[in-house]
Amino acid sequence: MPNSAEDKKKVLTRIRRIGGQVEALERALNSDVPCVAMLQQIAAIRGAANGLLAEMIEIHLKDALLTGEPTLDQRTQCTDEISGLIRSYLK
């Protein structure tokens, strides 16, 4: 979880927005919206998830590496976590 209340609020806002987009998508499915309009809604949810992922990576790097004097072990753990996530993301 983000260290700062401000970062936590930013993340919560993004999560809530994605939640709203998903609810809107379900309404679209039930109201005979053309397929291509639904495709654009889904692409927007995907984009929002990408934005949230980028934001959380930035927060994690900041919290783990720029707060106090992280030990070599702490830096190594953070580096492994981010590298692992990016590797799995960049298949």
Q: Which residues bind its own copies (CB under 8 A)?
A: 1-2, 8, 11-12, 15-16, 18-19, 22-23, 25-26, 28-29, 31-36, 38-40, 42-43, 45-47, 49-54, 56-66, 70, 72, 75-76, 78-79, 81-83, 85-91
Among candidate residues 86, 30, 88, the one with its CA nearest the CA of residue 60? 86
Q: How many CB atoms lie within 10 A of CB 70?
A: 15
In single-letter form, the type of residue at position 71 comes to T
Question: In the complex, what is the shortest distance from the CB of residue 6 to its own copies, in angstroms, rounded to a whole number?
Answer: 14
Minimum distance, C-beta of residue 78 to its own copies, in the bound complex (Å): 8
Q: List the alpha helices (DSSP H) in 1-91.
A: 5-30, 35-65, 72-89
Residue number with CB closer to its own copies (6 or 91): 91
